[in-house]
Chain A
């Protein structure tokens, strides 16, 4: 298995730490003038999605993690697995389990394209595009003329996601939503 020495550390590198695949976010070289050199590294655990910090003795190595990102179209769920297909024309399909899709579930729409992160060939996590377009399936009745300023109300989207929307939004409209913040962006003309 390939490994990376501290002097190869850079952001984006995928490594195994304590048995979990992690991505390096930041790498800082620290060394008191006469002292031992260390690399102070910020990482994100790709399994738990948690950020952590760990310091390594300069010259030490970490095993490379077999992690690769693929663009894949979401097809359907059978209740136990969520099925995705590669968009490279190979039609190859992969099944992600509930853990891999837990963060993306509320943005998951059939035929949309997602980034599926594979670890040792199996889906580890699924990342939505920054913006998705989803239909409103439930919200309080809209109020006429209330287009400019004023309050907001909750709206339930086709995926089950609940977002805060302006008062004029009605059931059946399609909204553009920012998946990073969960914020309403605008209405989409259908």
Chain B
């Protein structure tokens, strides 16, 4: 494969793709400028990584410095914690174009380093923010406004299973055809739902117009508020799918510091059980929430994936100057 080695100094994106990326960035900045949302920058390197069980931050060894407690730092998997501290300090609506890092993620839709557009809207709920995401995305891609589909309805329609009321073994059974019997019994309920999401729901969404999935199970709430709808506890979390590609993840944000602490504790227990590093608790984030995180909605949107849709490619490498193998 000496030929591959010889060529690996070259970018994997075409010059046209790089120009499109630059245009996309100005489009985004114009969009928020016209709406009075402030652009901010926050650290990519910080003392805590994400607590989510399924997000692996990249750890960095730090030389000792006065006032820095730990010799270990984490490259941020999203700027969420810092941006919430800014909101608590009274910035009003903010957005950021950030480099985010997720360890071990590489495929046609993943690169361990990627561009994330994240923004927060005080006073918005999930519905308001979905409308703004739709305006940004569909304005850029020149697509019709997305429809909304609940998580429960999507599973009912495309997997034939009730993601909220089916038994754990019933959900596991649905996965057997993809992962085999042996693995199906080892997976948790949420992992089984993830299998069905990747193997059955996403392929079905490929053939639909842009679609917001919303009202996730409470176990997948992450940092979203929950409420009771039709007798089920649902998370006010939404994701936009275009051509089956997961483009963003948004929340009507949890503002209750006590509840947030419980969720972090629970996440850390799950991380330990899975043999992953305990992320501890970012006390500065919780202190900010206690001092008053305003009621708000926030969303993180993958800019490389948005560019994939703009360019009509199924491979993220076509949007990146240098994917990880060439970086």
Contacts and interface: CB of A to CB of B under 8 A. Distances in A.
Interface of A: 7, 18, 28-38, 40, 53-58, 60
B271 interface: no
Given A34-B220, A36-B194, A28 B179 contact: no
A60 B110 CA distance: 19
Contacts of B222: 34
A91 B5 CA distance: 38
B199 interface: yes
Interface stretch (B81-89, B120-128, B183-191): B183-191
A37 B108 contact: no
B198 interface: yes
Given A33-B246, A55-B199, A38 B107 contact: no
B239 interface: yes
A38 B187 CA distance: 11
Given A57-B179, A57-B186, 12 more contacts: A29-B109, A32-B246, A33-B246, A34-B54, A34-B249, A35-B191, A35-B193, A36-B187, A36-B195, A55-B179, A55-B195, A60-B183
Of the listed residues A34, A35, A53, A57, the one surrounded by the most CB atoms of chain B closer than 10 A to its CB is A34
Interface of B: 52, 54-55, 104-110, 178-180, 183, 186-187, 190-191, 193-195, 197-199, 220, 222, 239, 246, 249
A32 B107 CA distance: 12
Contacts, number: 74
Contact of B104 (A18, A37, A53, A57): A37
B179 A56 contact: yes
Contact of A32 (B106, B178, B194): B194
A18 B181 CA distance: 11
9 contacts: A18-B180, A29-B105, A30-B198, A32-B197, A34-B222, A40-B178, A55-B178, A55-B179, A57-B186
B327 to A, nearest CB: 17
B106 A29 contact: yes
A54 B179 contact: yes
Contacts of B52: 34
Contact of B105 (A18, A37, A40, A56): A37
A144 B109 CA distance: 61
Nearest to A28: B107
A38 B179 CA distance: 10
A42 to B, nearest CB: 12
A35 B194 contact: yes
Contact of B197 (A18, A35, A37, A58): A35
A32 B104 contact: no
Contacts of A18: 180
Contacts of A37: 54, 104-105
A38 B198 CA distance: 9
B185 to A, nearest CB: 12
